[in-house]
Amino acid sequence: MSRHLERLLQLDALLRLPLRQTAENLAEALEVSERTVRNDLNFLRDRYFAPLEWSKAKGYHYTDSDWRLPTITLSKGELFALTLGARMLEAYAGSAYVGELRSAIARLGERLPEQTWVDLQ
């Protein structure tokens, strides 16, 4: 994963926290300059149409909490197959990949809408 994408994902997670986010504390958390943070915020707003605003009371925040950063395109069928694969791997609890697979599925799940219906046919 590229550093820029990784930083955007971290920035997205920080913006979702119920804390007042300033360019200064975001830069500190991401270990980059304030200018880099401002460039990333502008990138999110301009390229991905992120509903970002700044206010004195809230700092940087999303005005629409349902907005998601489009990082991975995954069909419902693919998500179902991935989840099924994770369940199958649980039978092999000693596998070195079970933890990583669970983590990947959890991260993918965070990016999906609250309810998703899958036609098992």
**For the residues 29-51, what does the mean pLDDT come to?**
95
3-state secondary structure of 62: strand
DSSP the chain: --HHHHHHHHHHHHHHSSS-B-HHHHHHHHTS-HHHHHHHHHHHHHHS---EEEETTTEEEES-TT---------HHHHHHHHHHHHHHHTTTT-TTHHHHHHHHHHHHHTS-S-------
Task: Give yes or no for residue 121 having a pLDDT over 50.
Answer: no
**For the residues 44-50, what does the mean pLDDT come to?**
93
- Backbone phi and psi for residue 103, each to the nearest 5 degrees, phi listed first: -60, -45
Task: Give yes or no for residue 109 having a pLDDT over 70.
Answer: no
Which stretches does DSSP call E strand in 8-113? 52-55, 59-62
**Its pTM surpasses 0.85:** no
Amino acid 115: pLDDT: 54
